[in-house]
Amino acid sequence: MARETTVFDCNLLYLPKIENVAGNITVAENNMHIPFATKRIYYLYDIPGGESRAAHAHRQLEQLIIAASGSFDITIDDGKNKKTVHLSRPYFGLHIKPGIWRDISNFSSGSICLVLASLEYNENDYLRDYNDFINFRN
């Protein structure tokens, strides 16, 4: 399936935003708002200006990437098509399917990139070289 996934299968998802004068809250529940069961959560922060992160793909892992604070761009690539998505609201997340290359860039000062992953860490699931990714896709 991952070899057939395209950037058009990756969607921006709305997460419920509950507004209150004391501050807002957003809820994300497995298999309801998140289209998979979350097995791992991590976040990127203190990223120096001009740096980019990710630059890899996964064979099986799915991710929901959220700008918990600040903003950044995610460029997704299926080997034929590329699409860039700007994330800047904590109640939207980009659902990235398996077999999609991703590169995260243009981090604003103080941004936090929150990642919900469908699998626990497994180095063998990573495609870190773009040529290996293209070979995987073919």
d(CA 77, CA 56): 10
Is residue 137 a contact partner of residue 78, using CB atoms and an 8 Å limit?
A: yes
Query: Is residue 86 annotated as a catalytic residue, yes or no?
Result: no
How many Cβ atoms sit within 10 Å of the Cβ of residue 27? 11
CB of 28 within 8 A of CB of 21?
Answer: no
Q: Are 117 and 39 in contact (CB under 8 A)?
A: yes
Q: Single out the catalytic residue among 33, 56, 86, 95.
A: 56
3-state DSSP call for residue 44?
A: strand
Active site residues: 56
